[in-house]
Amino acid sequence: MSNLQARVFTAVILLPMVIASIFLLDTFWFALVFAGILLLAAWEWAELSYLSTYKTIAFVAVSASLLFLVWHWQGLILMPLLWVSMVLWSIATILMFSYQPKSETPHYLWLKQGLGWLILSTAWLSLVDLHQQSQGSWLVLYIFVLIWCADVGAYFAGRIFGKTKLAAKISPGKTWEGVLGALLLTSVYALLVSVYTDLFDSDWGVVVISIITVAISIVGDLAESVLKRERGFKDSGQLLPGHGGILDRIDSLLAALPVFVCLQRTVM
């Protein structure tokens, strides 16, 4: 089976499962299912952070405890965590363009572990918060499709028009033309959803929020690429045939979810 065939096969299997989880499960079971996915991502994050097997197990155990705590205290800590994430991804946006590859084992591994706990738990809580809102299942589907549209737009625009490298030292295949393609397609998608459905109150408001969310999602993709580059890995794992690991599939969402929810709750 070729890599493309494996990607299509995996997508065909997973897509109905994801949609069924969004619409058929109540928020508790939805949260539990995606907590499992986030813990698999936590395992991969730990391996990218140079942790041994025993320390990886401990990292995942702490991650599970954090998910329980943020679920229990979500009413108090949701907005503070969202604003911390906004600041974090804003700083990351600046750092991505000043990144210098290191040949030696990178320092500050403890910082990578702490950021992993923050990013994973905040993204999960943001997803759960969306799901338990009015029309929550449709909101979750909206953000998922938004990121999928961004991937499609970036891929085809990059393949056809791509010339100007976005961040050559991190991910040589990404181009500014791909970014523009992602922003264009997602803007059209956001506008169509806002005009033809009652999911959002403000047509242009959701377009602006969606554009910002997609821009930050690209930073999330680049951030995971930095982890893989410093570790010397092509993929974060091999769990998904043709797609790599869990982190390879959700890296954009990890950044997009808290930004989207924060702006949605603050602006709309």
Distances (CA, A) of 188 to 92, 159, 267: 27, 20, 20
| Sequence-ordered alpha helix ranges (H) in the chain | 3-24, 27-48, 53-72, 74-96, 109-131, 136-161, 176-196, 203-231, 246-267
User: What is the spatial distance between Cα 175 and Cα 85, in angstroms, rounded to a whole number?
Assistant: 25
Burial class (CB in 10 A: 0-12, 13-18, 19+), 263: buried
**Distance (Å, whole) CA 177 – CA 87:** 26
Q: Note down pLDDT in tens along the chain; length 268 residues.
A: 455 556 666 777 888 999 999 999 999 999 999 999 999 999 999 999 888 899 999 999 999 999 999 999 999 999 999 999 999 999 998 888 888 776 555 557 788 899 999 999 999 999 999 999 999 999 999 999 999 999 999 999 999 999 999 988 898 889 999 999 999 999 999 999 999 999 988 778 999 999 999 999 999 999 998 888 888 888 887 776 656 789 999 999 999 999 999 999 988 7
d(CA 121, CA 64) in angstroms, rounded, equals 9
Neighbours of 63 (CB within 10 A): 24
Residues, the chain, total? 268
Contact criterion met (CB below 8 Å) for 203 and 261: no
Answer yes or no: are the C-beta atoms of 132 and 77 closer than 8 Å.
no
pLDDT for 106: 56
pLDDT at 242 (0 to 100): 58
Q: Which residues contact 85 (CB under 8 A, 6 or more apart)?
A: 118, 119, 122, 126, 258, 259, 262
Per DSSP, what are the bridge partners of residue 171?
Answer: 167
What does the pLDDT read at residue 7?
A: 65
Tokens of 168: 């050559």
Side chain identity at 215, as an amino acid letter? A
Check if the beta carbon of residue 240 is closer than 8 Å to that of residue 248: yes
Contact 228, 236 (CB under 8 A): yes
Looking from the CA of 81 toward its CB, the CA atoms found within 13 Å total: 28
Report the first-to-last Cα separation within the chain, whole angstroms: 46
Hey, what are 200's tokens? Answer: 């959002």
